[in-house]
């Protein structure tokens, strides 16, 4: 599916970090409507931190983040909450409440943010569980599910309010290759069925080449984005040798030892 022309997310000269510790700076990119956009980079470079900034959990050190043209950085708390209601977010491990059943987890945002009746909520929950192939598992506790099932239950909860924007933080972490591939297909199905705009934090190359329309790669040493574009094009033609090595895992340790990230051939 080709992405639309509308810009859903615009990141402008963003610097992120904690206090005086700057993780990333001068970040500039946009996410178009209907595309699957992946944030990549080595461990500790700030991928998940960037995601938390985009969804409004953290304030940046500088710069701006526009969601459908509206700043989530400068918005007051009321507007910020309204913007965040457009999001569906899945965290590593699913982040389900362990004391609640799967159905209760999925129902929670509906109870919190809608005036639907109990029967209407139950119907909506069953629809979302069916969507992620978990029909019949509503009465299970999260501890009774496999890792892949917990991820899918987390997605059902993220989809409860029919959000336009979906965010995934390391969706394939800890999953076997078959389960990971199943989750990739589910992400593609969400985009095809609902036209969702999807942002994924990942370092799983199989997933990147399966689902991503575009990627950015951040580097801890450079403290910024060192490449962006189609992942296949970057793998085959990026002038930065470290980026090519990362996307092939071929000789990566040697490249990381010998090549400055900003060096180009």
Residues 93-135 have pLDDT tens digits of 667 899 999 999 999 999 998 999 999 999 999 999 998 999 9
Closest by alpha carbon to 69, among 31, 37, 39, 34? 31
The answer on pLDDT for 257 being more than 70 is no
Under 8 Å between Cβ of 50 and 24: yes
Percent composition of the chain: helix, strand, coil (DSSP 3-state, to 5): 40, 25, 35
Q: Residue for token digits 């899945």?
A: 90
Average pLDDT on 155-179 reads 89
Cα–Cα dist 36/81, whole Å: 24
* Mean pLDDT over the full length of the chain: 90
Edge-to-edge strands of the sheet including 7-18? Answer: 21-32, 7-18, 62-67, 70-71
How many domains is the chain partitioned into structurally? 1
- Residue 265, pLDDT > 50, answer no
Two structure tokens written together for 140: 């299970």
For position 179, what pLDDT does the model report? 87
**CA dist., res. 8 & res. 199, Å (int):** 11
- Which CATH number covers residue 30? 3.40.50.300
Half-sphere exposure of 36 (CA within 13 A, CB side): 23
Summarize the confidence of residues 201-218 as an average pLDDT. 94
Q: 118 CB contacts (<8 Å, ≥6 apart)?
A: none
Asked whether the whole model's pTM tops 0.85, one would answer yes
Domain-located, residue 250: yes
Query: How large is the average pLDDT for residues 49-55?
Result: 96
Domain assignment of residue 53, given as a range: 1-84+199-265
Confidence tier at 188 by pLDDT (50, 70, 90): very high
Q: Say if 153 falls within a structural domain.
A: no
Look at residue 150 and tell me if it is in a domain. Answer: no
> Does residue 123 sit within a domain?
no
Strands (E), 33-99: 36-41, 62-67, 70-71, 87-90
């Amino acid at each position: 599916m080709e992405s639309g022309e509308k810009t859903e997310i615009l990141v402008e000269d963003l610097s992120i970090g904690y206090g005086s510790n700057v993780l990333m700076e001068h970040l500039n990119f946009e996410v178009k409507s209907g595309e699957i956009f992946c944030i990549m980079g080595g461990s500790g470079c700030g991928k998940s931190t960037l995601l938390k900034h985009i969804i409004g959990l953290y304030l940046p050190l500088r710069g701006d983040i526009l969601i459908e043209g509206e700043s989530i950085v400068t918005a007051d708390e009321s507007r910020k909450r309204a913007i965040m209601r457009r999001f569906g977010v899945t965290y590593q491990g699913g982040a389900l409440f362990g004391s609640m059943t799967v159905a209760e987890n999925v129902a929670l945002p509906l109870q919190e943010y809608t005036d639907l009746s109990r029967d209407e909520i139950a119907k909506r929950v069953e629809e979302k569980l069916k969507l992620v192939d978990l029909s019949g598992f509503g009465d299970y506790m999260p501890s009774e599910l496999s890792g892949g099932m917990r991820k899918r239950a987390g997605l059902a909860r993220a989809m409860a309010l029919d959000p336009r924007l979906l965010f995934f933080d390391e969706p394939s972490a800890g999953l076997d290759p078959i389960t990971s591939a199943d989750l990739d297909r589910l992400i593609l199905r969400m985009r095809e069925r609902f036209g969702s705009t999807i942002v994924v934090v990942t370092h799983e190359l199989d997933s990147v080449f399966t689902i991503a329309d575009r990627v950015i790669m951040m580097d801890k040493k450079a403290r910024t984005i060192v490449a962006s574009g189609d992942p296949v094009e970057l793998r085959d033609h990026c002038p930065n040798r470290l980026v090519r090595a990362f996307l092939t895992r071929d000789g990566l340790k040697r490249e990381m030892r010998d090549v400055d990230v900003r060096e180009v051939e």
